[in-house]
Chain A
Amino acid sequence: MPITYYIVLSSILFVLGVIGVVVRRNAIVIFMSLELMFNAANLLFVAFAAYYQIITGQLFVFFVMTVAAAEVAVGLALMVAIFRAKHSIDVDQMSSLKG
């Protein structure tokens, strides 16, 4: 089975994540789309690790997961703080810095 299939699946998932970030205005859904993109990248890491038969690719998935977990923790904390101030997590409303 060619590795092309994994490349295509992973690209589709990544692009769906990009579209989610651009289209949706809810900050939580934007974060979920980010997770989708992390996952697409991870899938490609594991696929190429299996292809080249080296385990470094799997290790990098481990590191990506750690960073994603940290990012989600800080992001959701930010969201709670913003919701407390503005009573909304719509990203269009977060325009106080606009000149």
Chain B
Amino acid sequence: MPVIQIVIFAILGLVAVGTAVGMLLSRNAVYAALFLVLNFATIAILYLILGAPFIALAQITVYAGAIMVLFLFVIMLLGVEKLPFKERLRGQRLIAILLGVVFLGEAVLYLVYRGQAGQLPLPDAIQFVSPAELGRVLFSQYMLPFEITSIILLAALVGAIVLTHHDKPTPAAEQI
């Protein structure tokens, strides 16, 4: 059913691009965050179509759940949801969009024409990769990168605490 596949892909793609544009244009940071949540959800559905159920659900829980809640929490904690939309450098926005479009054309042309794989079709029946299979490879072949991510997370944890920790002068320091 290639036609149905293409229709579904077109709808999801439109939603993804539309929410990304909405995020860029919205003046309220909370709306921008909610647009991004919708964008992550559509990309998760695309992952499901591509046969990656574990990645799709990790996307929902980690990105749409944890990371965006963190974003919303910081936005509301700081009270910065109103975004001024003026530009300091005149014409900066126009030039940025022009260069972005040029970059897009270049990237697409390169990937489609130089990267040979572009014309080839995806397999018709994409097999779902089960989480068990993924875990087996992760814990055998990719054990060392997995351990390194734990160090990255630990460093991020310590860094976040150190950066936001507010030093209160201790009574002993005040006396000196």
Q: Could you list which residues of chain A lie within 8 angstroms of chain B, going by C-beta atoms?
A: 1-9, 11-20, 22-26, 28-29, 31-33, 35-36, 39, 42-43, 46-51, 53, 55-56, 58-59, 61-63, 65-74, 76-81, 83-84, 89-90, 92
Contacts and interface: CB of A to CB of B under 8 A. Distances in A.
10 contacts: A8-B108, A11-B111, A15-B104, A22-B96, A32-B71, A48-B117, A55-B133, A58-B55, A66-B149, A84-B166
Contacts of A71: 156
A57 B87 CA distance: 40
Given A67-B152, A77-B159, A13 B17 contact: yes
Interface in B72-98: 74-75, 77-78, 80, 83-84, 87-88, 92-93, 96-97
Interface in B14-42: 16-17, 20-21, 23-24, 29, 32-33, 36, 39-40
Contacts of A7: 108, 111-112, 115, 118
Interface size class of B (residues with CB under 8 A): 35 or more
Given A50-B126, A55-B134, A79 B100 contact: no
Contact of B155 (A25, A29, A46, A70): A70
Contact of A80 (B58, B78, B117, B119): B78
B71 A53 contact: no
A7 B85 CA distance: 32
Contact of B71 (A14, A18, A28): A28
Interface of B: 2, 5-6, 9, 13, 16-17, 20-21, 23-24, 29, 32-33, 36, 39-40, 43, 46-47, 50-52, 54-55, 58-59, 62-63, 66-67, 70-71, 74-75, 77-78, 80, 83-84, 87-88, 92-93, 96-97, 99-101, 103-104, 107-108, 111-112, 115, 117-123, 126-127, 129, 133-134, 137-138, 142, 145, 149, 152-153, 155-157, 159-161, 163-164, 166
Nearest to A72: B67
Nearest to B29: A28
B87 to A, nearest CB: 8
Contacts of B142: 59
A28 to B, nearest CB: 5
A46 to B, nearest CB: 5
B122 A51 contact: yes
Contact of A14 (B87, B96, B107, B133): B107
Contacts of A18: 100, 103
B138 to A, nearest CB: 6
